[in-house]
Structure 1
Amino acid sequence: MEKLTAEQIDQLFLIKHRKKIKNKELAAMVGYSETHISRFFNHDGTLSYEAEQLVKRTIEEA
């Protein structure tokens, strides 16, 4: 159970962008604040392993 690397987070951001998912929408879907989501994608904050997986799954399934 390894956390996502910076490169994986960047790839996830590109997928989110292509699917036109806004941080506010993603935050509502996963139950975290928009600030947490923004910091996660800007490599300025961390989420737990479980939260990262939830964000990843939510984006992939959207």
Structure 2
Amino acid sequence: MHHLRIGTAHRGKRVLALADDHTVTVIHLDTGEIIATNTINPNQSDWRNQQRVPGRWPGSRP
């Protein structure tokens, strides 16, 4: 099982996940907005959203 980190701000939204050999792109179904792009790493079970700056806590980004 793998987990895509897309952010809690998108909880409950209807999404479409498109996957290829290297990435998973998550798109909001109602707006067409790309919510997340995750790089597939088979050695990890948790894949971080590459569109967000890494941060430990919500709101901790500059």
TM-score of the aligned structures, taking structure 2 as reference length: 0.23
TM value normalised by structure 1: 0.23
Structure number with greater CO (CA < 8 Å, separation at least 6) is 1
Structure with more of its chain in helix, by fraction: 1
Larger radius of gyration: 2
Structure with more of its chain in strand, by fraction? 2
